[in-house]
Amino acid sequence: MATAIRSFLQRLFLWRELRQWSASAKAAETLDIPSLRVLRSRAKSLRQPLDRLIRKADERLALPARGSNIFPVPHGTDWSWRPALWRAPLPVPGLASVASRSRLGGEVTVHHDCIRSELSLRQRRNTREEDLAPYGLSMDVFAFDGTFLSLVVDLPAEVLTDLRKNHLIRLSTSIEVEKPIEIFARLNITHGPNTEQIVRDLPLNRAETMVEFDLAYSGLNEKRLEKAWLDLIFEDPQMNQIILHDVTFARCPRAEF
C-alpha cells in the first residue's frame, strides 16, 4: 500500500512539474530579462541529467541487447565466440591519433608503421535492423603514410582446448566501407617454436562475409599449442571509413569423406 501511494505521489509531482515548465516555456516570450536568465539557468541544470538519462536509456533499450552473444554457427560447432568489443561497452570507447600497438579493450590491438598517425577508432552502438552484435567498431583513416595497417584480435585459450587438424575455424564479419578496399584475414597459431599462418581474402561484395580456416592443410603440432590470434589486414586504407559491425568465430570438425 505504501509503495502504491509513493508511486502515485511521484507521478503527481512529475505532472505538476511538467505543467509548470510548459507554462514557463509559454511565458518565456514575455518574461523580463532578469527572470528569463534565472529560468534559463534552472532549465539548463535540469537538462544535463535528463539528457544523460535519455542517452543511457536509449543505449540500454536499443536492440540488440548489450552483452548479446547470439549469432548463427555451423552444425557441430564445439566452440564459438564474439570478442568483448562487439558485445559490451568499453571503459574507453575511442582513440584518436592512434599509435601502433594501442589497445582497444582487452582483446583488440592496432598495428601500423605510420610516422604520423591520422587514424581514429571508436566503439559505436549498432542500430541497424540486420545487426546481431550490440556494438561495432568504426575506423576512420585520413592521410596514411605507412605500408601496413592491421587489427589484431587475441583469441581466448578455449579455442586451443582439444584443437585438432580436422577442425575448421570460421570467421564471420559484417563490414561496411566508404570506398572499396582489400581486407585479408590471417589466422596465427603458435605451436612450440613455430607459428602456423593461414590467410584468407575477405570478399566485401555482400553484407555478411564468412571465411573458413581449414587446419587439415597446416603443419600444426596438436600437442604444443600455445596461443592463437587473428590479424585483419587493410590494404591502402587512406581516406576511408571502415565499420566492423560484427566479428565472430566458430570452431567445428570438418566433414569426413
Nearest residue to 81 via CA among 89, 71, 91:
71
Query: Same structural domain for residues 86 and 166?
Result: yes
Predicted confidence at residue 44, as pLDDT, reads 76
**Residue 15: which domain range?**
2-61
**Residue 110 is assigned to a structural domain of this protein:** yes
Predicted confidence at residue 225, as pLDDT, reads: 95
Please, are residues 67 and 88 in contact by the beta-carbon 8 Å criterion?
yes
Residues 54 and 8 in one domain: yes
129 and 232: one domain?
yes
**pTM of structure:** 0.75
Work out the angle at residue 187's Cα, subtended by the Cα atoms of residues 181 and 192, and round it to the nearest 5 degrees: 150
Q: Among 69, 249, 79, which Cα is nearest to 160's?
A: 79
State residue 35's pLDDT score.
Answer: 75
Residue 73 lies in a domain: no
Residue 231 lies in a domain: yes
For residues 32 and 116, membership in a common domain is answered with: no
- For residue 1, the model assigns a pLDDT of 59
In angstroms, the Cα distances linking 143 to 55, 114, 152 are: 33, 10, 21
Per-residue confidence (pLDDT) for residue 50, from 0 to 100:
65
All cell numbers assigned to 112: 601500423
Question: Quick check: 71 and 172 in contact, CB under 8 A?
Answer: yes
Question: Does residue 98 lie in a domain region?
Answer: yes
- Indicate the number of domains in the chain: 2
Per the domain annotation, does 67 fall within a domain? no
Q: Would 224 be classed as within a structural domain?
A: yes
- Specify the pLDDT at position 51: 65
Cα angle value 86/169/91 (rounded, 5°): 20
Tell me the pLDDT of the chain (257 aa) as tens digits. 566 666 655 676 677 777 777 777 777 777 788 877 877 777 777 777 766 766 666 566 555 655 566 778 888 899 999 999 999 899 888 999 999 999 998 899 999 999 988 999 999 998 888 888 999 999 999 999 999 999 999 999 999 999 999 999 999 999 999 999 999 999 999 999 999 999 999 988 777 889 999 999 888 999 999 999 999 999 999 999 999 999 999 999 987 65
